[in-house]
Amino acid sequence: MRFEFPLILDGAMGTELIKRGYTGEISSEEWSLLHPEAIRDIQSSYIDAGSRVIYTPTFGANRVKMEKYGLRDSVADFNLRLAALSREVAGDGVYVAGDLAPSNLFIPSMAHDHFEEIYDTYLEQASALEKAGVDLFVIETISSVADARAAILAVHDVSNKPVMVSFTCDKNGRTMTGADVAAACVTLQSMGADIFGLNCSYGPDDMVPQLKRLSDYADVPLLAKPNAGIPKTVDGNTVYDCPPDAFVKLIPEMISAGVKAFGGCCGTDASHISALASALKGTALPDKDRHDDLFLSVERNVFRIEKGAAPERFIPCGKDLRADASGFGKNGMMGIDLDDADIAELESVQWRFRNPVCFRSSDPAILEAALRVFQGRAAYTGPLCSEELAPLIIRYGLVVI
């Protein structure tokens, strides 16, 4: 499919389900299947308001989240049936985005899970959504780069359809895991994300500064799906303080930052989407020039790299990597030799990295194993030929120096 911009996405699902009787006693996915009229009503209202992309109600339909409700073996069935509900509503001219959300798993720096567990979780769900015939995929409300990387790899393994990725962060651009959304942008666009942006978090006023910051790094269109302001409790009820007219007042600033996909998250409803559609009607969005700068990233930092830059020294990827990881100058590139690599050690200590990383290896399989668990965008120097490196450049965003 080819995106036509501005692209108007949908609004909130969770807060709209609560309005229609969902109380949280069972999973929202199971409740939705028991009350399909609620999904039809919500998504039809968004389409009538102007949405041209609706998300499948599969936010929590992965094995980790469903296992809490005793539904571990129902992942494929739930995703197929929930996507079918959205497809039924969509009709002509409206795209259905298969929704993948946080896995609730964390790599060893934060927990005892591993990247392949995260990947397998997304592969199962993405496979079902692809079978359901979604038009594109959205990886949303992400706070962990590992989640986003695992999800995009899984999607690319089952589909060639477009992928949107959106993170949630604080006002400083940091996620709950400490990741920098600018670094995430560099990482995910290098791996083939077609659109990158932010959702949830807060209202438009607080999201705009981070969208402007992302503009300095993004070579893909940006996405903005803010909440309807900050939630407050009034008479025991959660209410949001950003009405539709205020919700759209910063659209010109979003456009200047490179935003081309617009929607709403928690607290928004059809009136917010209608306001977006009205504000964007007839708007011509400028083309964005690609950056000439070369960027590398680790989970917590992003770096502009001079062409031809290379590490002054390499350290072995072994048991001493934890101690060696901090032994680089402020702007020094960290060279890691992958001969006799301990990939488990690399996976567990990479959260300490504060410098751009360059791998060296004579074995493409070992290089791929390292790229798979490295939660950033890395460089490579070494003897491997272009034919061996080409798939790694495409799949992992590898930079050859």
SS3 assignment, position 262: strand
- DSSP string spanning 44-62? HHHHHHT-SEEE-S-TT-S
Q: How many CB atoms lie within 10 A of CB 237?
A: 8
Q: What is the pLDDT of residue 104?
A: 93
Q: How many CB atoms lie within 10 A of CB 72?
A: 12
SS3 assignment, position 234: strand
Q: What is the pLDDT of residue 330?
A: 47
Q: Tens of pLDDT along 66-119?
A: 999 999 999 999 999 999 999 999 989 999 999 999 999 988 665 567 999 999
Q: How many CB atoms lie within 10 A of CB 336?
A: 25
Cα–Cα distance, 187 to 271 (Å, whole number): 35
Q: Find out whether 183 and 302 touch, Cβ atoms under 8 Å.
A: yes
CATH 3.20.20.140 fits 7-280, yes or no: no
Residues near 98 by beta carbon (within 8 Å), at least 6 away in sequence: 56, 58, 79, 83, 126, 129, 130, 132, 134, 136, 137, 138
Which residue ranges in the chain fall short of pLDDT 70? Answer: 108-112, 323-331
- 7-280 with 305-400: one CATH topology? yes
Cα–Cα distance, 19 to 254 (Å, whole number): 30
**Which of these CATH numbers, 3.40.30.10, 3.60.20.10, 3.20.20.20, 3.40.50.10880, describes 305-400?**
3.20.20.20
b (16+ CB within 10 A) / e for 298-313 = bbbbbbebeeebebee
> CA angle, 182 as apex, 249 and 200 as ends, to 5°?
45
- Spell out the domain ranges in the chain: 7-280, 305-400
Q: Find out whether 100 and 122 touch, Cβ atoms under 8 Å.
A: yes
| Strand pairing report for 53-55 and 7-8 | unpaired
Q: What is the pLDDT of residue 290?
A: 75
Q: What are phi and psi of 304, to 5 degrees?
A: -85, 130
